[in-house]
A and B are shown apart, each in its own frame.
Chain A
Amino acid sequence: MFYRPESIDEALALKSRLGAHGTFLAGGTDLVVGIRKEKTRVEHFIDLTRIAGLDGVYRDRDRLRIGALCTHAALEREAITALADACETVGGPQIRNLGTIGGQLGTASPAGDVSVALIALDADCEIASVRGTRTIALADLFVGPGRTVLSPDEMLLSVSIAADRKSAFYKIGKRDAVAISLVMAAASVAPDGAVSIGLGCVAPVPLRARLAEAHVREHGLSDDAIERAAELAMSEASPISDHRGSAEYRRAMCATLVRRLLRGLR
């Protein structure tokens, strides 16, 4: 069946009824590819694109709340550097025009460029079901490749990020566009000096480099502190080798990118 709810309540009621048999559809950039490759089977589609207001971007003092249906293209020109740069490196223009932030997060790919940027922007996400609403840290959303903590009746409504931070993002891919990342990193520095660091393609999930963060929180952004943070970030990563690159290179790039990003944010 193909359902087209007109409101969040309607969507949640459907998801509550269908559970794991219902699959949300937004941009379809990942879902449709999975279906075509016969890797994904969908019994019931719940098309979210008719629901008004889910694609908005709202500023709430020092936070920015991004609706789950907001597209990558809509965020490319945001003033938050890591977010804008990450969105700009996703796929090509056609994919960015369709693909949504909710889809990006729900897919839970360790190579999700924007997931990594959002983690580095201290993101929370708002999750709803007919049972009510809860908010969790984005880094806690991901369980493994393609897996999240969402229950079968839940839906991701929005993600909220720090909007008052200097931030940066860097991706190494095999070419300049339409390329799955080989490794990427993002970082931000809050006005109070708190630092958040996200790493991609170096663990089963988009990774928050908490040891590195703690080190610079305590020791500041001196050359020595950054060097140590880079080493810690490397130690937190557990990359694999595949046809795109080796674990050795990915691990080394964690240090290189964290060092480069933090120096740039001083």
Chain B
Amino acid sequence: MSGAQQHNIGRSVVRPDVRDKVTGATRFGGDLCGPEVLSASVVRAAHAHAKVIRVDFSKAKAIDGVIAVLGRDDIKGTNRHGLIKRDHPVFCDERVRYRGDAIAVVIATTPEAAKLGRDAVEVEYEALPVIATMADAQADGAERIHEFGNVLATQLIRKGDAAKALGESDVVVTRTFAMGGVDHAFLDLEAGYAEMDGDVVTIHASGQWVHEERRLIALALGLPVERVRIVQPPTGGAFGGREDISIQIYLGLAALTLGKPVRMQYTREESMVARHKRHPMEIEYTLGATRDGTLTAAKVIIRSDEGAYASTGPAVLRKAVSHCTGPYRVPHVEADGVALFTNNCPTGAMRGFGACQLAIAYEGAVLAVARELGMDVVELKKKNLVRDGDSITTGQVIPVASAIDCLDAALDRFHWNARRKDHPAPHLRRGYGVSTICFGLGYGDGYPDASRARVRFAEDNVLEVYSGGVDVGQGLHSLLAQIAGEEFGIDASRVRVIASDTALTPESGSSSATRQTLFSGNAVKLAAGEVHRQVMDAAAVMLGLHWEDLAIKGDRIVGIHHENVATPLAFVLSGARARGFTLDSTAVYKPRTVAPTDQSGRSPRAFLTYMFGSHAAEVIVDIETGEVRVERIVAAHDVGKAINPREVEGQIEGGVAQGLGMALMEEVVTRQGRILNASFTDYIIPTILDVPRIEAVIVERADLEGPHGARGVGEPPLIGAVPAILAAISDAIGHPVEQTPATAERVWKIIHQDNAEHLT
């Protein structure tokens, strides 16, 4: 827009949804109901790996209140879903591959009857050997979980000659890292409601990409997409955990088959058993350097536990490999990743996927090199971090490489050089850690990635934004209102947002990959810009001035050089309509990325843009018990431009808290394919008492692509938090910490094993 009016951008507007959420008035998926609504309950597998010999619904159907039991024979379309490969059965046919596998869904007049029906479904199994670990999956003669074997995907990077460069390096460290599985633990459990609207199946359920969900549901139901409508209710968190299909097909199938409204809600336990998790990974990392601290080469071997089905696995592995050296310049790189099927819960998208696990590894390796060289780790980092115009391991040149800006901002706010080194008590040790991370935004690697948006002035002259993008709690819709309003100088609170309904809104891709601010933000800005041009063209005709001499100011259109010219905007809008202007535009933002070559895994533009961040953490470790208390975290992130600074801070704070959970306590514990801690009693996430003071530092080096220079913020805050906390523990105890979560017991064992004489 012309002129200096800055109504929205960079202002911490209060989101319209927050009052209802704080006061409890918001109706989430589980709150949706209707008259004579039926209830559904899913029959889950009783084995982690077995052949299904016989399924008998007769006893279940005989239960009072049970209306129907639907299984694979009732699927009229494809009995499979999945984001990349269609390999996840809606209902198992010949085989169960994990304990969350669905056998059937029971529909009844009450939730209690549905549960009784569920328990009455008889399934006869023939148990198969359980592939419980990645080692099991790779063992000679291992039982094949899928026909083609137990390897889902492999990925590599070849750059220079890593073996030779390592041989010529002054120091070489090899460290092994391991990350446990993590649950998304969003509070708003999988829950929804479906009904028939004429011949259209309408499903109210929270996902992360309503249009893709519609495609997958239509595929399974054997319907054209026009006969499926997805409406997203307000959503209490997603973190990647709503990318895979959960309840949607069961709901749609039940409503379609029975012609009646149906609702269902998982329990926490069912949610944890059924839903995919963050990938456990094992990473062997070899890093070389010259004596002066210049990194020379990296050799990285990654093994990723996919669980039973592919989900986003291939993309996660690629993200891991493409981020294997993070924000560092490493001239020679050899990375190999393999994704292995097991009979564990499938693993899929979770905040920072792939990049997060590798950040633990490359930051741990950099720390090990610093220790080996006797060099300050900050100095080592600064010597090797990418600078503007450098390329990273994929070969992509980074025009705005703000790793050092973020590092400096974090250390400055932390008062890093003034940090205390005292022991708070004889058994307590203070430790400090710093991380620097990078993150490629969007799907990348040539995968189609587009956001569409429609902007118009409605008949009541209210500016409207239509976006398929879902707000899972991150504040997307308010942000889009800010961007649309900005084009006209209209306050965000006066913009009406119609969103995440496949019947009303254009496709905007997923709320994932930290992509919505940049992608949907740009689409909205493009569409709003076109509507703005129409308004100004109409005003020019009506006022007899060149459009460049006119500007929107408040509720009026005024002449920039003609003080006497001023007309209400509403008058111009009516006039524009009368003159045939639609005041309505749909735009698409679809930038290009480039797929990597098979031989090198490299790409000149693997991702649209890269983001950088740096965290500084202080911990206190009880060296007798291994307990860790995080005292303080400073998190600096280059978001390009903070459209809504308070929301950016909120995302940083949430990411740090979630990262703290992953670093210290969260782990899905699995034995023989069974999750041992599938409840909030046993799966421990941080409470407010565990979360320290978090200081969010917003760095703003404008992005070349993003709307108003904005990139986004969703994932990097989690990615940066974990290695900073691990480094701080390592500093406190004087030993590397290379496994997550770093529970009290694990930290104690690290101290104990290396200092056995002091502790026995």
* A residues whose Cβ falls under 8 Å from a Cβ of B: 92, 172, 174-180, 182, 242-246, 249, 252-253, 256-257, 260
Contact = CB atoms under 8 A, between A and B. Distances in A.
A253 B665 CA distance: 18
Interface string B677-703: 100011011110110000000000000
19 contacts: A92-B687, A172-B627, A172-B744, A174-B665, A174-B744, A175-B685, A176-B689, A176-B690, A177-B687, A177-B689, A180-B681, A180-B682, A243-B676, A245-B743, A246-B745, A249-B745, A252-B748, A252-B752, A260-B624
A175 B676 contact: no
A48 B743 CA distance: 40
Given A175-B686, A175-B689, A243 B748 contact: no
B117 to A, nearest CB: 16
A256 B665 contact: no
Interface string B743-760: 111001100100000010
B625 interface: yes
Contacts of B677: 243
Contacts of A256: 624-625
Nearest to B671: A243
Given A177-B689, A180-B682, 20 more contacts: A92-B687, A172-B627, A174-B665, A174-B684, A174-B744, A175-B685, A175-B689, A175-B690, A176-B687, A178-B687, A180-B681, A242-B676, A243-B669, A243-B677, A244-B682, A245-B743, A249-B749, A252-B752, A253-B625, A256-B625
A169 to B, nearest CB: 14
Contact of A245 (B427, B687, B690, B745): B745
Contacts of A260: 427, 624
Interface of B is mostly: loop
Contacts, number: 48
Contacts of B687: 92, 175-178
B interface, size bucket: 20 to 34
Contact of B665 (A175, A243, A249): A175
B684 A175 contact: yes
Contacts of A182: 744-745
Nearest to A231: B760
A243 B674 CA distance: 12
A245 B749 CA distance: 12
A128 B24 CA distance: 46
A37 to B, nearest CB: 9
A257 B622 CA distance: 12
Contact of B743 (A92, A174, A257): A174
Nearest to A242: B676
Contacts of B743: 174, 245
A64 B321 CA distance: 64
A253 B669 CA distance: 22
Contacts of A246: 745
A47 B216 CA distance: 52
Contacts of A253: 625
A179 B752 CA distance: 25
Contacts of A92: 687
B725 to A, nearest CB: 14
B669 A249 contact: no
Contacts of B744: 172, 174, 182, 249
A226 to B, nearest CB: 14
Contacts of B684: 174-175, 179
A245 B741 CA distance: 13
A178 B677 CA distance: 15
A252 B748 CA distance: 10
User: What are the nearest 6 A-B pairs in CB distance?
Assistant: A176-B689, A174-B684, A243-B676, A243-B669, A249-B745, A177-B689
